[in-house]
Amino acid sequence: MVPAALAVVCAPVCAVEIDGRIDAAEWADAMHIADFRKVQPLTGEPGSLPTEAWVLATPDGLAVAFRNVQPADVPRTRQKVQRDFDEQVDRVNVFIDFDGDGRTGYAFTVSSSGGIADEIITNQNDFNSDWDGQWRHAVSEDEAGWSVELLIPWHTAPMRDGTGGERTLNVFLARVIGSTGERMAWPVASFERPRFLSDFAPITVPQYSQSLLAVTPYASGLYDNVRHGRDFNAGVDVFWKPSGRFQLAATVNPDFGQVESDDLVVNFSATETFISDKRPFFTENQGIFELTTPSDSSQQLYTRRVGSTGEIDAAVKFMGSLGRANYGVFAAEEDGPTGRSYQALRLVRDLATQNLGAMLTRVDDPFREREATVLGIDHNWRPTQRWNVRSRLLGSRVDVATDSVRDVGATLWADYEMDDGWRQQWIAMHFGNDFELNDFGYLSRNSTNYLHWELRRRFTDRPDDARYASTDWRWRVSTNHNNRGDKLNDQFRMSRQGQLRNGGTEYAQLNLNSAGINDLLLRGNGVVRLPANFSANYEYERPREGRWSPYYGGELFSGGLAGNDKLGWAGWGGATYFVSDAFRINTGLTVIRRPDWLIWQGRGNPGLVGAFDGRETRLRAGMDWTLDARQELRVKLQAIGIGARSTAAWRFDPAGNAIAAADPVDDFNVRNLGFQVRYRYELAPLSYLYVVYARGGFAREPGEDGVDDALLDSLSLRDDEQLMVKLSYRFEL
């Protein structure tokens, strides 16, 4: 049960020096917490090492301190980590839901070596690390353990007014032991459960408020060594929070140069690849605009759309609260003849056990004479401690010239927490044939009618000498039909996730798929009937031990028109080698064999599909060097080589049956390269100097030279070669 709200009082003069040293006088009036219990594995037992925390509301923000006892026989992880790290190291977490409504949370993580990460949490347990906040932290260490102090300003997030000079926050505090992976926390809540945000502990604090006006101008220069051109850009970001009830973010002529590099993707399917957004303006307090469905990565507002058809002139978003209701407004304008206009309006209302929201998005595309509007309604309901029910209803309207098309989508998913580690989940989805999110949002496919039931069991009662600290089994059955009545497939899935005593993780999954129809391969020019197929995979990852941190895995699968008659496989492995705590080198290799790889042959031949014996190799390598607390150097290399030998050509009758074709289908190879060297110097909080060298290229050519040659040849690609320098500085007024 979630405890009643606890009071966190503050003395009349309240100041905490954030130096990592917990001074008893400074924290004398703080709320003291010592009942940390295991939540990973999720046993609820007392944590294996003594941990204490203090929470204190101050005029400058919410202050939190941790004292972590760690004797000499428990290894300490002292490696340096970069911002938003995901390495398994000794660390503490502070999670805060500032409105206490279970809709949006903010996560603040500090490692024992002083590294930090921050994330936004939505949909109870969905984490997004693209957001970077401004907050203070410090770490100290002694023979008996280590200590952390944090100060999270009140201007971090918009928040509603309280009552009687007080407000209620929901918090979750945790500590992770890097060498074992054990997480102990207060209260007993877990992101492995369907409900996480709603299980935080409420605390009552004085209603402090901070105003902030931050102006961040930037200037960047780029030299293109392939086209021998130069480019100079300048712009400004503005963040204004006059009170807790309102905040505004605006950007003029933003420069989203390649200081961050996306992972390479070679995609021959009809489904768009989802790529997260790391651009600061679009990650700043974006949580209110989250309206997602259970379909993979689907969302009504996908900020990567903005800037995809033209340079961005300006963008603005503001959000605030009116009583118990929150609102958000988003607008962006692209430049040039193909530029679009984007607008979004979001409203949410939170009740004791329910959240109700609505969002209206609109995209005006004059160049294509297209206007797209989507209205989404989301409802989250927690009728008891065991149930979590989420529903979405969306309608789209697309006007092109004089034509107008409308359709709807709806989803429902319910999670039920049972006793003894058992859980159940039900999901139902319907997306109409003409339902369209992808002008502003992301949806992998429409024309869907999907049902699944999943049964889960978590085992945590393992003996101390067992290999596993816990295992989590899942069994799922599902069926999926398009909106024309064709069965896409039925599926049985079984998976197991294990947390090992050495801090490592294992994951294994088996999918058995029935025969069905593929209605995307031909891009609207018919359907393809596919036989039954399967896939089975296993992967293992272990945190650092000595100087090494390895990972490896493999997959066996079937598919294509051959079904289970031809087996494909994939294998991957790699490791990170720690030259020192501050300097590490990583490398990884993936090899894939697809014996019956079906690839559409393009608009010039819309009914033709080629079958290939495809081989692919992916190489990853890099280094990370944390020079000091403000400087880091990163090198990142990705290369992909594909060799595909044509084995057949197919056309299909109206029922989707394959007919051998005499059309010529050529062998081909693909080369793809992404290489980046990035130096970053932190001048001040959220103020950076970047020096970035980037090189890359893509080539698809006829002929099959072999995957090894394609991979090696990719290293010589030079479609782009750029040197960029970017300086941004945040002024707080």
Tens of pLDDT, residues 282-297:
887 788 899 999 888 8
Confidence category of residue 277, pLDDT binned at 50, 70, 90: confident
The answer as to whether 254 is a domain residue is: no
Beta-bridge partners for 530: 516
Query: Are residues 548 and 410 part of one domain?
Result: no
Pick from 399, 418, 444: which residue ends a domain? 444
Query: Are residues 43 and 170 part of one domain?
Result: yes
Is the confidence at residue 464, as pLDDT, over 90?
no
Number of domains in the chain: 3
533-553 core/surface letters (b: 16 or more CB in 10 A; e: else): bbbebebbbbbbeeeebbbeb
The answer as to whether 432 is a domain residue is: yes
Q: What is the mean pLDDT of residues 387-416?
A: 96
Pick from 415, 444, 473: which residue ends a domain? 444
The answer as to whether 59 is a domain residue is: yes
Q: 552 — phi, psi (to 5°)?
A: -165, 165
Higher-scoring residue by pLDDT: 206, 244: 206
Query: Are residues 122 and 77 part of one domain?
Result: yes
In this structure, are strands 126-128 and 212-224 parallel, antiparallel, or unpaired? Answer: unpaired
Q: What is the mean pLDDT of residues 441-458?
A: 96
Q: What is the mean pLDDT of residues 545-568?
A: 96
The answer as to whether 321 is a domain residue is: yes
Query: Are residues 717 and 623 part of one domain?
Result: yes
Confidence category of residue 11, pLDDT binned at 50, 70, 90: very low
Q: Mean pLDDT over all residues of the chain?
A: 93
Pick from 393, 416, 444: which residue ends a domain? 444
597-616 core/surface letters (b: 16 or more CB in 10 A; e: else): bbbbbeeebebbbbbbbbbb
Cβ contact 171:3 at 8 Å: no
Any idea which residue has 């992998």 for tokens?
444
d(CA 623, CA 424) in angstroms, rounded, equals: 43
Confidence category of residue 82, pLDDT binned at 50, 70, 90: confident
CB atoms within 10 A of CB 471: 20
Cβ contact 467:320 at 8 Å: no
Q: What tens digit of pLDDT does each residue of 709-721 get? A: 888 889 999 999 9
Query: Are residues 569 and 421 part of one domain?
Result: no
pLDDT reported for residue 730 = 94
Q: What SS3 class is residue 562?
A: helix
Query: Are residues 666 and 639 part of one domain?
Result: yes
Higher-scoring residue by pLDDT: 125, 688: 688
Strands (E), 562-686: 563-578, 583-600, 609-626, 631-652, 658-660, 668-684
Domain ranges, residue 155: 6-208
CATH number at residue 158: 2.60.40.1190
d(CA 91, CA 114) in angstroms, rounded, equals: 9
Is the confidence at residue 2, as pLDDT, over 70?
no
Query: Are residues 678 and 606 part of one domain?
Result: yes
Query: Are residues 149 and 11 part of one domain?
Result: yes
Q: What tens digit of pLDDT does each residue of 229-241 get? A: 999 999 999 999 9
pLDDT reported for residue 13 = 41
The answer as to whether 245 is a domain residue is: no
Is the confidence at residue 256, as pLDDT, over 70?
no
Query: Are residues 347 and 432 part of one domain?
Result: yes
The share of the chain scoring above pLDDT 90, in percent, equals 79
pLDDT reported for residue 1 = 45
| Radius of gyration of the chain from its Cα atoms, rounded to whole angstroms | 27
The answer as to whether 264 is a domain residue is: no
Cβ contact 253:233 at 8 Å: yes
The answer as to whether 462 is a domain residue is: no
Query: Are residues 279 and 194 part of one domain?
Result: no
DSSP state of 709: H
The answer as to whether 456 is a domain residue is: no
pLDDT reported for residue 287 = 83
d(CA 224, CA 499) in angstroms, rounded, equals: 47
Query: Are residues 226 and 118 part of one domain?
Result: no
Query: Are residues 433 and 287 part of one domain?
Result: yes
Beta-bridge partners for 349: 325, 356
